[in-house]
Amino acid sequence: MDRYAVIGNPIAHSKSPPIHGLFARQTGEQLQYEALLAPLDDFAGTLRDFLQEGRGVNVTVPFKEQAWALVDSRTPAAERAGAVNTIQRLDDGSLLGDNTDGKGLVRDIQHNAGLPLAGKRILLIGAGGAARGVIQPLLEAGPAQLCVVNRTVEKAEQLAMLFKDQGPISAAGFDWLEESVDLIINATSASLDGQLPPLPPSLIRPGHTWCYDMMYASEATVFNRWADEQGAARCIDGLGMLVEQAAEAFFLWRGVRPDTAPVLASLRQRG
């Protein structure tokens, strides 16, 4: 049976095995999917050992940049993202790297939540690996403006430079922000520590502005609680993005697109 895995550190609480298990059952694909803990200093060894036999892997924190460097070829999305979250072992034994995070985010916002991004003014908060990974697909969706906002402004400016030929992108620091926008996406790691980026409430037009935290937890994240208090029209967490990026990986490996709605519903039920 074809074997796949998600590799990370830590990995014990990964939802990828149940997600791919549900996809396989739903589509009738015969495959095994497991979670593998890689030592922090030997992602390459864990990857190499698994892919002696395994057909593909998902890569998660903190190895996505290393995965980018280790693959033999990359999709255009992965090339620009500077990070790889999906690897496929091709028939000639070489490794193809893709990044499905941004596609997953855009599909969750446009398809699942029903907010078309064309013509929208979007703030992307954060300028680390998570933010960089989603910029190209966001720009492809045709926003009026994508402004990258970061505590360390220089990092936001670097990203805006890197993607400036791809669409209307700009950079800012938190204290430059004032006017309300249509959508705020939190791509900082602040939610992980229960912290809130210093966002002025004026960014949210009550009943209009949507907020999306790429993090998810069993309870609402600090960012989404803040957004709700300011009267945001919708507050969405990153569970849908997780399921959608997994569906993109499954499609790359198996050529079959799973129906994500029942899988997302099942995960929400499990909590």
**Applying CB under 6 A, does 7 fall inside the site for ligand ATR?**
no
The pair of structure tokens assigned to 131 is: 């933010």
Which of 54, 197, 240, 258 forms a contact with ligand ATR (CB under 6 A)? Answer: 197
Task: Tally the C-alpha atoms within 13 A of residue 218's C-alpha that lie toward its C-beta.
Answer: 4
Least separation in angstroms between CB 131 and ligand ATR:
6
4 is in an annotated binding site: no
Which of 14, 99, 180, 188 forms a contact with ligand ATR (CB under 6 A)? Answer: 188
3 is in an annotated binding site: no
Between CA 171 and CA 153 the distance in angstroms is 7
Least separation in angstroms between CB 112 and ligand ATR:
22
Stretch that binds ligand ATR, among 42-50, 91-99, 146-154, 260-268 (CB under 6 A): 146-154
Exposure b/e, 45-70, CB count within 10 A at least 16 = b: ebbeebbeebbbbbbbeebbeebbeb
The pair of structure tokens assigned to 153 is: 């402004």
Burial bucket for residue 13 (CB in 10 Å: 0-12, 13-18, 19+): exposed
**Applying CB under 6 A, does 129 fall inside the site for ligand ATR?**
yes
Least separation in angstroms between CB 29 and ligand ATR:
30
14 is in an annotated binding site: yes
Which of 3, 15, 111, 155 forms a contact with ligand ATR (CB under 6 A)? Answer: 155
Q: What ranges make up the beta strands (E) of the chain?
A: 2-8, 31-37, 56-59, 73-74, 86-89, 95-98, 121-125, 145-149, 169-172, 183-186, 210-213, 234-236
Query: Which 8-state DSSP code applies to residue 144?
Result: S
Q: Report the site for ligand ATR in 213-232 (rule: CB under 6 A).
A: none
The answer to whether the CB of 96 falls within 8 A of the CB of 74 is: yes
64 assigned to active site: yes
**Applying CB under 6 A, does 258 fall inside the site for ligand ATR?**
no
Least separation in angstroms between CB 67 and ligand ATR:
13
Between CA 257 and CA 134 the distance in angstroms is 21
User: Of 21 and 128, which CB lies nearer to ligand ATR in the complex structure?
Assistant: 128
Least separation in angstroms between CB 166 and ligand ATR:
19
Which of 3, 111, 151, 234 forms a contact with ligand ATR (CB under 6 A)? Answer: 151
Which of 38, 78, 130, 204 forms a contact with ligand ATR (CB under 6 A)? Answer: 130
Between CA 123 and CA 146 the distance in angstroms is 6
**Applying CB under 6 A, does 190 fall inside the site for ligand ATR?**
yes
| Residues in Cβ contact with 167 at an 8 Å cutoff, skipping those fewer than 6 apart | 139, 140, 142, 143, 146
101 is in an annotated binding site: yes
Which of 70, 140, 189, 205 forms a contact with ligand ATR (CB under 6 A)? Answer: 189
**Applying CB under 6 A, does 127 fall inside the site for ligand ATR?**
yes
- Point out which residues bind ligand ATR (CB under 6 A): 126-131, 150-152, 155, 188-190, 195, 197
Q: Which residues are catalytic?
A: 64
